[in-house]
Amino acid sequence: MKLTQTVKKGGCAAKVPAILLREILSGVIFPPKIEGVTVDGASFDDAAIYKISGTHSLVQTLDFFTPIVDDAFDFGAIAAANSLSDVYAMGGKPKTCMAILAAPLATMEPSIIQAVLQGACSVITESGASLVGGHSIDDDTLKFGLSVTGMVENESIWTNAGAKVGDYLILTKPLGTGTICAGIKKQEVDSDIALEAISSMKKLNNVIDLLTLEEIDSIHAGTDITGFGLAGHSYQLALASEKTLCFNFRSLPLFKGTMSSLEKGWLTKAHKSNEEYTKHSLNWGPTISETEKLVAFDPQTSGGLLLSVSPAFAQDIVNRLKDHFPGTAIIGTVMDKQDFHVIME
């Protein structure tokens, strides 16, 4: 069974469009923030933070989606890595996971569901967390993800509101999973191109274990690049930090199949909705073509971390991460707030 043929859209491209999500949430009266909650959903951050002591806080998040690849084990691994990424994006380490599973029991063999869960378990084991339970339902299409609880030191929390003027912007994974996975669904993408993207999506965004304490402290803000694309998540970081992010488009790391896939028109609905979300907040340089612009709108699944880093430590961080994350690159800088939240030059 080719899992991508069982759903209309997959991975983070299946997210509710950001514009519609903001509209929906604007009409909801939320409970008051209780004592201890220091980060909630107000700034569209990656996870919630709940202070439990003078030294530590809980990190809480969840994520789930429909299949983005055909292999069940790979799908489970990607979904798990994507869910765990939100904890890493806040500077934390995952501790416990609970599975979220929906599956068409009448048409799907138990062995496929087992493979999904085994793929997730392989990544959770690598993260050092435990799978402690979950919930499952019988549904028309396969959906899988995790609710994750992590821990973070209070002095080391990264949010999307902490970027400082002069910071360098580091991205840890190449861009292009949206368009490449659209090609996988069409069953037209070359196997080596698909494998590169799949390997990246299965890779945990655990950068903390690769950095020194001094380098960790030099990171002022972070987010992971997922369904809203580089443009959407950069906009949210800039908005929360009240800054402008300026990117050097030619420095963006891309998978070897990203541009060819975009040129073939392998797109998702999220390419359009991400463009709509950011069109009034993004300024393009004159040399960037219409096809190249799609890179910024490409919906990433289990994409890299975007880190806002003190310039004194930026190159050292890149050097440390390169062995494990070969696509790591300095891609821009943080500026005082301009007319646009995001500039692509």
Q: What is the pLDDT of residue 12?
A: 87
Query: pLDDT band at residue 13, thresholds of 50, 70 and 90?
Result: confident
Residue 97 designated active-site: no
pLDDT in tens, 102-140: 999 999 999 999 999 999 999 999 999 999 999 999 999
Which of 12, 97, 181, 246 is flagged as catalytic?
12
Right CATH for 3-156 from 3.30.70.260, 3.40.50.300, 3.40.50.1100, 3.30.1330.10: 3.30.1330.10
DSSP 296-318: HH---SS-PEEEEE-HHHHHHHH
Domain ranges of the chain: 3-156, 168-344
Global pTM value: 0.96
Give the C-alpha separation, 206 to 84, whole Å.
9
pLDDT in tens, 229-260: 999 999 999 999 999 999 999 999 999 999 99
Q: What is the pLDDT of residue 1?
A: 80
3-156 and 168-344 have identical folds? no
Work out the percent of the chain whose per-residue pLDDT is above 90. Answer: 97
Rounded average pLDDT over 138-162? 97
Domain 168-344 coded CATH 3.90.550.10: no
Question: Looking at the predicted structure, is the pLDDT value of residue 148 above 90?
Answer: yes
